[in-house]
Amino acid sequence: MTLISVFVTSPDTHSERRLDISFTISQLKDKLVPITGISPHYQVLSLYASSEGVSAGSAIANLSEEGKTLVEYGIKEWQCIKVENTDPNYKPGEFTDESNLERFELSNEEYESRRDTVLTHLKENKLGRFAPTPTNLTCPPPPPTSYDSSIVSGARCEISHSDNGSGRRGTVKYVGEASIGKGGVWVGVELDEPTGKGDGEVEGKRYFTCSPLHATFVRPDKVTIGDFPEEDLLGSDADEI
């Protein structure tokens, strides 16, 4: 069995079909009945190079010999078989014209008053737009767009809420909008100790330069500006009295 794709067009239909090229024309007509709605003895078949060729009227062959196969007619992929209807009782468009069909329509008020509708089901089961709105959902606050005017580059500061719970001291090196996280205002700080996460560069953009592991970026509300001298970690309690 060899199948090919062809177009089948008739007065009321147009579709793509897979056909066995070993079909005789008689067998093909039987296969076309449920596709076109035309009885075999009222079918007149013609073969075209393409579906566009049907409108131009350039038929390759008339498929009129009932015992001849499609392969004998030399049918190829994506050619088009036109099916004409010679039924004297046929009325063009009788199966596709919907202008004379009676339509069942309901007004919005009638639809909402019925009990056998999807709308009623949704209402009774509190689904879709009728589902209760959760009350425990909280939206994260938007990123800050302003900051305290005391936060300026070069100011000494202390950062609260570090990983170990204590404050970290450093010097403000950058303050302003930054493409970090969800954006908004960030403060870049050069830490006194190597407890940071970089050297002032984030995602390929450099905001300031410092030694590795001395840079950190925090929101303005985590920064306290003040006289925070750098701690002398080399000092010893033994020198005190």
Domain boundary among 85, 103, 126: 85
Question: Residue 67 falls within a domain, yes or no?
Answer: yes
Give me the pLDDT at residue 3, please.
Answer: 94
Question: Residue 181 falls within a domain, yes or no?
Answer: yes
Looking at residue 30, its amino acid is D
Question: Residue 80 falls within a domain, yes or no?
Answer: yes
Domain of residue 211: give its range: 156-225
Question: Residue 118 falls within a domain, yes or no?
Answer: no
Question: Residue 96 falls within a domain, yes or no?
Answer: no
CATH number, domain of 216, equals: 2.30.30.190
CA gap 127, 111 in Å, rounded: 18
Give me the pLDDT at residue 238, please.
Answer: 44
Please count the other Cβ atoms lying within 10 Å of the Cβ belonging to residue 24: 16
Give me the pLDDT at residue 166, please.
Answer: 63
pTM above the 0.75 mark?
no
User: Is pLDDT at 26 greater than 70 in this prediction?
Assistant: yes
Q: What is the pLDDT of residues 145-175, one digit of tens each?
A: 888 999 999 999 999 865 555 689 999 999 9
Question: Residue 108 falls within a domain, yes or no?
Answer: no
Q: Residues with Cβ < 8 Å from 176, sequence gap 6 or more?
A: 185, 186
How many domains does one find in the chain?
2
Q: What is the pLDDT of residues 36-58, one digit of tens each?
A: 999 999 999 999 998 888 877 78
User: Which of 75-84, 100-109, 111-120, 214-223 is the least confident region?
Assistant: 100-109
Question: Residue 160 falls within a domain, yes or no?
Answer: yes
Task: With H, G, I as helix, E, B as strand and everything else as coil, classify residue 130.
Answer: helix
More confident site: 129 or 172: 172
Report whether 12 contacts 95 (CB < 8 A): yes
Give me the pLDDT at residue 96, please.
Answer: 67
Q: Residues with Cβ < 8 Å from 39, sequence gap 6 or more?
A: 33, 87
Domain boundary among 35, 67, 85: 85
**pLDDT, averaged across the chain:** 87
Q: What is the pLDDT of residues 167-190, one digit of tens each?
A: 899 999 999 999 888 889 999 999
CATH number, domain of 60, equals: 3.10.20.90
